[in-house]
Each structure stands twice: as structure tokens, then as C-alpha cells.
Amino acid sequence: MKFFVDTADTAEIKSLAASGLLDGVTTNPSLMAKTGKKFQDVLADICATVPGPVSAEVASTEFDGMLAEARVLRGIAKNIAVKVPLTPDGLRACRRLSEEGAMVNVTLCFSPAQAILAAKAGATFVSPFIGRLDDVGEDGMQLIRDIVTIFGNYDYFKTQVLVASVRNPMHVVEAAKAGGHICTVPPAVLRQLFNHPLTDKGLAAFLADWSKTGQRIA
């Protein structure tokens, strides 16, 4: 499974990228607004930090506007993945952009039927939002299982399942068990994956025993 981080905070991205665990970044208009900076500058900085795909979302809701904005976004860096909503105009834009060689992330997916449409439109990634489904009493993880099963039935579907709206480490684990290709997670959740009390306990014991020897390795 690949890890994308879901943020536009360049300091967080640089810190996580230094770990070698980061495969890409996803942003959206809400995350970009929080930076208080010019979005082109933020995206350029992110793309220079992370060589993998960096999702940047269009703000237009109609076809021509999406294409115009996509041209601007693609001009920022070669690793930009244009993010479009799962709407008729969004899928039409996805098809056109995919034919032009762009990476496209179709976002706001909430059903297997929508995921099929995204794959048919040539999406590089489709982003099912599991946490938001859980919030309304549905089973977000079942959506991932369904999409992975469906995509596995057709060799010509090349779209990757980018698990989004991830709220906790178990979402990541369950998505990996279900066969999701990518998880995009907030920085805090990505860091939580390191944590286990037995790791902390074991390390403390090892260090205490080593200290008693009075030796140094270097």
C-alpha cells in the first residue's frame, strides 16, 4: 500500500517526506485555504518536495472551467494530479484530461456505481470517502471492498483505489486488508501508525539494560 498525506501544510509534508514513507500528497480547496498563501506557490513547493503525485483540485463545477483550471494546475509541475468531482462534468473532464496524458483523481466517491464510472472515464485514481460514510451510519470500509472486487474483475480497469477520509490507524489497516492501493491520511494519523505501547516498553527495557553495561557503540 502507498501512503499519501492529506494536507497542504508544507512543513508537515517536508517532515514526513524525510522519513521516506511518503508516496504522494492530496490537497483540496479547504486545505489550501488554511495555508493563507497563494495556492500556486504552495503547490510548487509541495511538488518540489514530493516526487510522487500531488493532487490539486479544480474549483469550477462545469466542463470548460475545469479544463481551463486544469491547464493552470498542470503547468505548475509534472507530478500534479488534477482532482475533479464525481459529477457528469467532472467525469467528462476526466476523460478529456486522461486522453491528454494527465493524471486525474476523481474525488467525492460514495458508491461502487460511481467508482465504475470513474474507471470508465479513465481516472488514474478514484477517492472513496470512508469516514464520511461512517458518519452517516454506512459502512465505509465495505465500499472499499466492493470497489476493489469490481476493479479486479476487469483487467482494463487501471484506476487505483485511493482511500480517503481516513480517521484512524485501523482505517489504514482495514483498507490494506481490503486491497486498497493507496491511503491518503492526515499527518496525525500517519504518525499514529508508529505507536504501540509494547514498542515503547521494549525500547525502554533495552536502553536500561544497555546503560548498565557502561559501554558505547560509537
pLDDT tens digits, 90-119 = 999 999 999 999 999 999 999 999 999 999
The mean pLDDT value for 140-152 works out to: 98
Residue type, 126: V
User: Does 83 participate in catalysis according to the annotation?
Assistant: yes
pLDDT value, residue 213: 96
Q: How confident is the model at residue 192 (pLDDT cuts 50, 70, 90)?
A: very high
CA atoms of 218 and 216, how far apart (whole Å): 6
* Catalytic one of 37, 83, 120, 158: 83
Kindly state the cell numbers that stand for 117: 464510472
Summary mean pLDDT of the chain: 97
Q: Selecting from 3.20.20.70, 3.10.450.40, 3.90.580.10, 3.40.50.2020, what CATH number does the domain 2-213 have? A: 3.20.20.70
Beta bridge partners of 161: 126
Residue type, 204: A
Q: How confident is the model at residue 193 (pLDDT cuts 50, 70, 90)?
A: very high
pLDDT value, residue 203: 96
The mean pLDDT value for 116-132 works out to: 98
The number of CA neighbours under 13 Å toward the Cβ of 17 is 20
- Judged by average pLDDT, the poorest of 29-43, 78-92, 139-153 is 29-43
List CB contacts of 86: < 8 A, sequence separation 6 or more.
106, 107, 108, 109, 114, 117, 118, 126
pLDDT value, residue 159: 98
The mean pLDDT value for 8-19 works out to: 94
Per the CB < 8 A criterion, the answer to whether 181 and 2 are in contact is: yes
Write out pLDDT tens, residues 60-95: 999 999 999 999 999 999 999 999 999 999 999 999
